[in-house]
Amino acid sequence: MDLQIALLLGQDGIVNGAIYALLALALVLVFAVTRVIFIPQGEFVAYGALTLAAFQAGKTPGTLWLLLGAGVLVAFIDSIMAVRAGAPGRLKRIALWDLALPAVVAGLVLWLEPGTLPLAAQVVLALAIVVPLGPMVYRLAYQPLAEASVLVLLIVSVAVHLALVGLGLLFFGAEGSRTTPFSEAQFALGTLTVNGQTLWVLGASAVLIIALYQFFGRTLYGKALRATAINRVGARLMGISNTMAGKLSFTLAAGIGAFSGILIAPITTVYYDTGFLVGLKGFVAAIIAGLVSYPLAAAGAILVGLLESFSSFWASAFKEVIVFTLIIPVLVWRSLTSHHVEEEE
């Protein structure tokens, strides 16, 4: 191994690490606010990438029908709840968010032929299809169980993951796809060539992380999420709706996931089930951070990316083993240095 190879491996590791960092942040966010270990996070990566790829192949992505279907289901359940609760005033809101919004998105997709639009517009449309699925999944699968134990929520996560992977296979087929890169540019950096897309991944990740930081520090909604994360009951007594916090965190997680997928789709082939492994590595990073600290999660993600990249050079057959074994020393160290508060009993 010489310096050249080390640099190339380092570059590769940091690019992958940036994606894992985004996913780790989303996982930490969702867990902190709702106590859900969000295994389906990876599915949003695949849905985002493959929806965009479907546009570029001139097809109507199946996720569009999922959005419409989930919207109708959510609207149906919420309407019944609203009428029962004697609050018909909520119906207007329900109709707007769960029926009108998906219908508008569907109308745009079917009418515009997204494959012919500029890339930025395609990305916006793909996000418009995938991101609303986040709060809808929360409404259908998690909200009725919001007070359940972490274990129950984890089991629900597994179920949601399997359902979404199955739907992914149905929508996109077994074979993978790639999308056109955001930029074809190449830069020479000493002996190293850097692709435009690589810079896009790094830049977008950095911007997103800073934006999240600002969101939590400066906005009312961000502070509401933090309050819920720190003390659910306390936050509720101060008038912060747990349901709102849950939906908002799932919207953010879906948005981060889908956008990560769109970022990596030009550099690697994305399959209907790619997201799971990518999400799992984000999860390793989130574990390193103890599922609480954002900066530690980002650092852990870079570590996972680098470890993966270098181990694929030295011992490619054991790459996954090495990456996932990382959890064990981290857990040992965590359990030795932190004191436990049993949540249930």
Q: Tell me how far apart the alpha carbons of residues 136 and 163 are, in angstroms, rounded to a whole number.
A: 14
Instruction: CB nearer to other proteins: give 285 or 291.
Output: 285
State which amino acid sits at residue 177. Answer: S
Q: Tell me how far apart the alpha carbons of residues 5 and 22 are, in angstroms, rounded to a whole number.
A: 26
Instruction: Please report how close the Cβ of residue 254 comes to other proteins at its closest, in angstroms.
Output: 20
Instruction: Please report how close the Cβ of residue 3 comes to other proteins at its closest, in angstroms.
Output: 12
Closest CA to 276 of 261, 287, 259, 295: 261
In DSSP notation, 132-199 reads THHHHHIIIIIGGGTTS-HHHHHHHHHHHHHHHHHHHHHHH-SS-B----S---EEEETTEEEEHHHH
Instruction: CB nearer to other proteins: give 278 or 301.
Output: 278
Q: What is the DSSP letter of 187?
A: E
Instruction: CB nearer to other proteins: give 34 or 177.
Output: 177
Contacts with other proteins by CB under 8 A lie at 5, 8-9, 12, 15-16, 19, 166, 169, 173-178, 264, 267-269, 271, 273-274, 276-278, 308-314, 316-317, 319-320
Taking residue 335's Cβ as centre, other Cβ atoms within 10 Å add up to 10
Q: Tell me how far apart the alpha carbons of residues 57 and 128 are, in angstroms, rounded to a whole number.
A: 18
Instruction: CB nearer to other proteins: give 160 or 224.
Output: 160
Instruction: CB nearer to other proteins: give 65 or 313.
Output: 313
- Is the separation of the CB atoms in 296 and 288 below 8 Å? yes
Instruction: Please report how close the Cβ of residue 194 comes to other proteins at its closest, in angstroms.
Output: 12
Instruction: CB nearer to other proteins: give 282 or 300.
Output: 282
* 166-194 b/e (C-beta count within 10 Å ≥ 16 → b): ebbeebbeeebbebebbeeeeeeeeeeee
Query: CA angle 30-126-284, nearest 5°?
Result: 35
Instruction: Please report how close the Cβ of residue 69 comes to other proteins at its closest, in angstroms.
Output: 20
Instruction: CB nearer to other proteins: give 214 or 269.
Output: 269
How many CA atoms within 13 Å lie on the side-chain side of 200?
18
The contacts of residue 310 (CB under 8 Å, 6+ apart) are 9, 13
Instruction: CB nearer to other proteins: give 5 or 81.
Output: 5
Residue 265, phi then psi, degrees to nearest 5: -55, -35
- Is the separation of the CB atoms in 5 and 313 below 8 Å? yes
State which amino acid sits at residue 74. Answer: V
